[in-house]
Amino acid sequence: MLESVGLLTGSPWIYAAVAVSVLLDVFLPVLPSGVLVITAATAAAAGTAGGAVPHEVPDILALTLSAATASVLGDLVAYRLAWRGGARLDRAIARSRRLTRAQERLGAVLARGGGAGGALVVIARFAPAGRSVVSLGAGAAHRRVGEFLPWSILAGLCWAVYSVALGYFGGQWLGATWLATGVSLVALFGAGVGAAFLIRRPGMQESGSGA
């Protein structure tokens, strides 16, 4: 598998590649940041499975910190851009039903500062495009950074730990193969589907509108 992926997973540049991909996918959710994180973690698992890999493999802790830090930085960039606003951004939000609904709900939910706001931010990090909706919505609603940043940090860390763990333990159990990567990606996709379902549940929506 590692030969097919190339030398990137055996180079320090893997951390930069992961960081850039994760940072930018708040604006371009189609970027395969999860795929890259899981592939790198699977490569790391191969390096601890008996020394069968002839070159260096990513460090699990560094990989997790790169992904989590980039996730938070991307959230903050999107948040600040939405905070500053502008006619073009306002029109884009107005055209998006999801962003409009998020802007209306997030202010009250995040202001509560309890489980409802935190759950929304953390769960949305796993849902397709949920990170974008939450970050832009919080900024457009002009929520204080202290209400948003702690939950963004928790969300980014949870997502990074989960993604790295999927790739690492998948590689440990199934070997450094495309099967291990595929199974891990299915688990990541399943978490996204589950997160989207939870966000759409009436209980989650009522917790935001009732604050």
* Parent domain of 12: 2-209
How far apart, in Å, are the Cα atoms of 144 and each of 106, 107, 147, 180, 182? 12, 9, 5, 42, 40
Cβ atoms of 15 and 44 within 8 Å: the answer is: no
| Number of domains into which the chain is organized | 1
pLDDT of 129 reads 80
Q: Identify the band that residue 9 occupies on the pLDDT scale cut at 50, 70 and 90.
A: low
Q: What is the pLDDT of residues 153-210, one digit of tens each?
A: 999 999 999 999 998 888 888 766 677 778 888 888 888 888 878 766 655 554 444 4
112, with CB counted inside 10 A (0-12, 13-18, 19+), is middle
The interaxial angle of helices 97-112 and 145-174, nearest 10 deg, is: 110
pLDDT for 105-126, tens place per residue? 555 555 554 555 678 888 889 9
